[in-house]
Amino acid sequence: MNLMEFEEVFSSKPRMKILKLLNTLGQLNVSDIARRIKINFATTDEHLRVLESEGILKQYLYGRVRLYSFNEASEKARVIRKLIQVWEQTKQL
């Protein structure tokens, strides 16, 4: 598995929107994520696969439905969630 550079993962506005959305809502399927961040299904799926391959997100299968959420076992995921939380808190100050 080829891991991406830090800059590659975070240089994508859709990936950042996905991370913020999942941080807020916890768990969503691909279609819901695509609709909420206003990009097509295929592009959303591609971004989700990148985040999953980096260990940041975890996929759960319920029949044919794929749900994504933060991978709480991943240190990367925990740090990213904390970063998002701190960033959002400082916006409110």
- Answer whether residue 79 shows pLDDT above 60: yes
Neighbouring CB atoms inside 10 A of 22's CB total 23
Question: Which pLDDT score, from 0 to 100, does residue 93 have?
Answer: 63
Question: Which pLDDT score, from 0 to 100, does residue 2 have?
Answer: 61
Choice between 92 and 74, residue whose per-residue pLDDT is larger: 74
Task: Please state the pTM of the whole predicted model.
Answer: 0.88
Distances (CA, A) of 64 to 25, 32, 56: 21, 14, 22
CATH: 1.20.120.1230, 1.10.10.10, 3.40.50.1000, 1.10.10.60. Which one for 6-92? 1.10.10.10
Burial class (CB in 10 A: 0-12, 13-18, 19+), 3: exposed
Task: For 4-61, write each residue's pLDDT tens digit.
Answer: 777 887 889 999 999 999 999 999 999 999 999 999 999 999 999 999 999 999 999 9
How is the chain split into domains, by residue range? 6-92
